[in-house]
A and B are shown apart, each in its own frame.
Chain A
Amino acid sequence: MSGWERFVDSFFNARVMAQYLPKIIEGFGLTVVLALLIIAAGLALGLLLALLRAFGIRPLNWLIIFTVDLFRALPPLVIIVLLFFGLPNAGIELSGFVASWLSLTLVLMAFSEEIFWAGITSVPKGQWEAARSTGLGFVQTLGHVVLPQALRITIPPLTNRTIAITKGTALASVVAVPDILGAANAGVSFSFNPSPLTLGAIAYLVLFFPVVVLGRWIETRFAWKR
């Protein structure tokens, strides 16, 4: 076998690929579900924390900042491992799926809170003053005037961060979740051939490439009308 043939046999082995494709597709579905759950919960919690922070209640803000910094500092894998292997000692058993979801949700919550907060503070003070001078209350001003502007500014960094953290779903394979990478790894172990990894890479591209393109589209869609 020439080098090239060996390469094709290792990474593009049609027989192995065909055999493990169904598993990869199952893993793909699982990764999609996991990613969507992380995005929904992570962004919702991040926005909630940023909104709470806007009320300027000192002790609460210290708590928010501490939590956010904690989950921004810890590597996601460390959190997953702590939740999966550590919590059972406290009598709480989480499945690998739930541990992965919770970990990455907390990480996305932390990063998105910072991004949402930066967006809220970037809205000029004059916007608050104009709205309040017409009799709008604090919450109304936040909801109708400040947040819509803040969200537009946050879309590019938020998209980037969301993609980066959602790709971390691959870490779930460490705690035996049969996501794309988990399924691909299992395929490699059983077939003694790395072709399932190629399939996995393709699956990730199929999943995330449209998300990246969508992010770009949203960015232009939300630019100010001139």
Chain B
Amino acid sequence: MSAHAPIVDARAIHKHFGHLHVLKGVDLQVAEKELVFLIGPSGSGKSTLLRCLNRLEEPTSGSVIVDGIDMLDARTDINKARQRIGMVFQSFNLYPHMTALGNVALALRKVQGLGKAAAEAKARAALDRVHLADRADHYPLQLSGGQQQRVAIARAIALEPRVMLFDEPTSALDPELVGGVLAVMRELREDGMTMVVVSHEMGFAKAAADRVVFMADGAIVEQGVPAEIFAAPRHDRTRAFISQIERH
């Protein structure tokens, strides 16, 4: 980690869903340009943690500071703050009634207040970055899953976020479509994007992650560089999880 203040600084995050205690005091700091991978068995709280970072999920207690903005302060303009945090979802969540271009341009127009022409120019540039400039006028249902997810990435990066959150971005994709999405993510990383990724793509984690965080039962069990976590995990839980994943 760099010596600078972390761009994402989440501390002592607790989250209860009724009687379920899904996050039990989690700390997560992410440095600028760092790619952090969150792994762990399902139900370990990694997606919930990710969703707490842009307050799609309201932590029961704790603090979340992103790029110097207190995300949990009631006085924070959450809509303004969220523009700095791009998010990509497992199920893409593209707007089915809009073209790819419309999907990307919506927030540019309605949130950033750009005119139609300026928003579309920016949206086209973002689609170009995910190699889908030629699909701008297609509706989501006319695109493959991989293309839809890349449009979703374009929708997020068009707002020029400081951090990108990926919530299992390839889990809903057919295997042959995963590569295209990972390639775009790798290019983002090379452009210096700070990224927090929840994913089971261990190959990508090994190749691209700066740090792997292993979570279980709502807490961080251990974290370190990929080589360390994958080759020499210190905890039994981590070892069991890694060996189970690698067997597949």
Residues of A at under 8 Å CB distance from B?
A: 124, 126-127, 129-137, 140, 144-145, 148-149, 152, 224-226
With contact pairs A126-B89, A129-B56, A144-B106 given, residues A137 and B97 touching in the complex (Cβ less than 8 Å): no
Minimum C-beta distance from A198 to chain B (A):
45
- A134 and B107 form a contact (CB under 8 A): yes
Q: Which residues of A contact B85 (CB under 8 A)?
A: 133
Given known contacts A134-B111, A149-B97, A129 and B80 CB-to-CB distance under 8 angstroms = no
Closest-CB distance, A135 to chain B (whole angstroms): 4
Establish whether residues B89 and A135, one from each chain, have CB atoms under 8 Å apart when the complex forms. Answer: no
Q: Is the CB of B82 within 8 A of A134?
A: yes
Bound CA span A148–B111, Å: 18
- Give chain B residues whose Cβ lies under 8 Å from the Cβ of A225: 139, 141-142
B83 interface neighbour in A126, A127, A135, A148, Cβ under 8 Å: A135
A148 CB contacts on chain B under 8 angstroms? 97
A149 & B96 in contact (Cβ 8 Å cutoff): yes
The residue on B at minimum CB distance from A125 is: B93
Contact check: which of A127, A130, A136, A226 meets B141 at CB < 8 Å?
A: A226
Which candidate, B3-11, B152-160, B213-221, is the interface stretch facing chain A? B152-160
Contact A129 B96 (CB under 8 A): no
| 21 pairs from A and B in contact (CB 8 Å cutoff) | A124-B91, A126-B89, A126-B91, A126-B93, A127-B93, A127-B95, A132-B79, A132-B82, A133-B85, A133-B87, A134-B83, A134-B106, A134-B107, A135-B79, A135-B80, A135-B81, A136-B79, A145-B106, A149-B95, A149-B97, A152-B97
Cα of A224 to Cα of B81 in the assembled complex, Å: 33
**Size bin of chain B's contact surface:** 20 to 34
Q: Chain B 71-107, CB within 8 Å of chain A: the 1/0 string?
A: 0000000011111011101010111110000000011
The 6 closest A-B pairs by CB, nearest first: A130-B93, A134-B107, A126-B93, A133-B87, A135-B83, A135-B111
Total of A-B residue pairs, C-beta within 8 Å: 75
Residue of B nearest to A145 (CB): B95
CB of B235 closer than 8 Å to a CB of A: no
Residues of A within 8 A of B83 (CB): 134-135
B79 and A137 contact, CB distance less than 8 A: yes
A residues near B106, Cβ cutoff 8 Å: 131, 134, 136, 144-145
Residues of chain B within 8 A (CB-CB) of A224 are 96-97, 139, 141
In the bound complex, CA of A133 to CA of B93 (Å) = 11
B110 is an interface residue with CB less than 8 A from chain A: yes
Task: Give chain A residues whose Cβ lies under 8 Å from the Cβ of B95.
Answer: 127, 130-131, 145, 149
B199 contacts chain A at the CB level, 8 A cutoff: no
In the complex the two chains form, is B96's CB within 8 Å of A136's CB? no
Most buried by A among B54, B95, B142: B95
Residues in A neighbouring B54, C-beta threshold 8 A: 133
Give B143-169 as 1s and 0s: 1 = Cβ < 8 Å from A's Cβ atoms.
Answer: 000000000100110010000000000
Which chain A residue shows the least CB distance to B56?
A129
Q: How far is the CA of A127 from the CA of B87 in the complex (A)?
A: 12
A140 to B109, CA, bound (A): 11
A134 touches B89 (CB 8 A): no
Q: How far is the CA of A131 from the CA of B81 in the complex (A)?
A: 14
A137 to B77, CA, bound (A): 10
Q: A130-B152, A134-B155, A145-B95 are in contact. Are A140 and B110 (CB under 8 A)?
A: yes
Q: In the assembled complex, which residues on chain B have CB atoms less than 8 Å from the CB atom of A132?
A: 56, 79, 82
Looking at the assembled complex, report how far the CB atom of A170 sits from the nearest CB atom of chain B, in whole angstroms. 37
Minimal beta-carbon separation of B154 from chain A (angstroms): 11
**Nearest-CB distance from A119 to chain B (Å)?**
13
Residue of chain B at shortest CB distance from A127: B93
- How far is B237's CA from A62's CA once the two chains are assembled, in angstroms? 49
* Identity of the chain B residue whose Cβ is nearest the Cβ of A143 in the assembled complex: B110
B82 contact set on A, CB distance < 8 A = 132-135
CA distance A129 to B81 in the complex (A): 15
Tell me the complex Cα distance, A140–B86, Å: 18
Give the complex CA separation of A149 and B87 in angstroms. Answer: 22
Q: A136, B107: Cβ atoms under 8 Å?
A: yes
Asked whether, in the complex, the Cβ of B159 is within 8 Å of the Cβ of A135, the reply is yes
Q: How long is the Cα–Cα vector from A127 to B140 in the complex, in angstroms?
A: 13
Alpha-carbon distance between A130 and B95 when the two chains are bound, in angstroms: 9
A226 CA / B106 CA spacing, docked (Å)? 21
Residues in B with CB closer than 8 Å to A145 are 95, 106
| Residues on B with beta carbons closer than 8 Å to the beta carbon of A130 | 87, 89, 93-95, 152, 155
